[in-house]
Amino acid sequence: MSEDSESKKIKAEQEEMKEESHEMDLKKGYESDEKYEESED
């Protein structure tokens, strides 16, 4: 029983990590897009 809840907790944490890293990727992509637009001038 406790093992099941443990694996559920681990899965939830992994999902959170995925979402956070996805947000970081979006921010990085957004910033590089801005730099690209600036250098185009």
Q: Domains of the chain: which residue ranges?
A: 1-41
pLDDT tens column, 21-36: 989 898 888 888 777 6
* pLDDT of res. 8: 96
| Residue 35 vs residues 1, 26, 32: alpha-carbon distances, Å | 52, 14, 5
CA 35 to chain CA mean position, Å: 21
- The Cα 31–Cα 41 span in angstroms is 17
Query: In this prediction, what percent of the chain has a pLDDT beyond 90?
Result: 46
